[in-house]
């Protein structure tokens, strides 16, 4: 985390996530965790993530430090307690959106790229970080309200929807 370039990105990312996802703490009782950076010595793999947790759910908002991608994932902290056929450790926001809208709503990635390209335009995410995080925070509250409230009964259906 000593790289000044990464430090600036990590600081900006944390600031934006804390602003846009503040409702997790205020409305849903999540506890914020410090940012976690990984693989800083591997430029293509370097990522930063911020977690929010309750006893049942962990939400991770993560971004590659090269600006290639950003995601929100929901982790069932008690997945081992579920019946064997219904054990789901985690689902992505993209999976939740696809499930809740029967595929009608587009993910953030698809909104930013054409149908021919499945990657983020170079540098776009770093320049548009505030907008991207705001969009993810809005979509999280819009499509994952049950998960935010701790109701994880739909995770097996959401995970099965993607197979």
Q: Is residue 116 part of a domain?
A: yes
Q: Is residue 160 part of a domain?
A: no
Averaged over 31-41, what is the pLDDT?
88
Give the pLDDT score at 4.
47
Q: What is the DSSP letter of 67?
A: S
Q: Is residue 163 part of a domain?
A: no
Give the pLDDT score at 83.
79
Q: Is residue 162 part of a domain?
A: no
CA distance to 59, 71, 78, per residue, from 81 (Å): 19, 26, 6
Name the band, by pLDDT with cuts 50, 70 and 90, for residue 163.
very low
Q: Is residue 159 part of a domain?
A: no
Q: Is residue 58 part of a domain?
A: yes
- pLDDT above 90 for 85: no
Q: Is residue 119 part of a domain?
A: yes
Name the band, by pLDDT with cuts 50, 70 and 90, for residue 116.
very low
- Cα separation, 32 vs 50, in Å, equals 8
More confident residue, 54 or 104: 54
Alpha-helical segments (H) within the chain:
4-20, 23-28, 93-100, 108-112, 124-127, 129-143, 145-148, 155-160
pTM of the shown model: 0.83
Residues of the domain holding 28:
4-151
97: which residues sit within 8 A by CB, 6+ positions away? 105, 107, 139, 143
- Cα separation, 75 vs 32, in Å, equals 15
Tokens of 123: 């540098």
Name the band, by pLDDT with cuts 50, 70 and 90, for residue 16.
very high
């Amino acid at each position: 985390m000593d790289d000044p370039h990464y430090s600036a990105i990590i600081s900006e990312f944390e600031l934006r996530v804390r602003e846009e996802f503040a409702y997790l703490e205020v409305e849903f009782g999540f506890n914020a965790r410090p940012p976690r950076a990984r693989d800083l010595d591997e430029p293509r793999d370097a990522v930063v993530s911020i977690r929010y947790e309750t006893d049942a759910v962990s939400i991770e908002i993560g971004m590659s430090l090269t600006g290639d991608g950003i995601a929100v994932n929901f982790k069932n902290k008690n997945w081992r307690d579920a019946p064997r056929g219904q054990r789901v450790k985690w689902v992505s926001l993209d999976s939740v959106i696809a499930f809740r809208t029967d595929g009608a709503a587009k993910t953030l990635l698809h909104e930013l790229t054409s149908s021919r390209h499945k990657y983020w335009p170079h540098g776009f995410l770093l320049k548009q970080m505030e907008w991207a995080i705001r969009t993810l925070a809005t979509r999280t509250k819009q499509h994952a309200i049950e998960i935010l409230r701790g109701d994880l009964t739909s995770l097996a259906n959401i995970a099965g929807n993607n197979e």
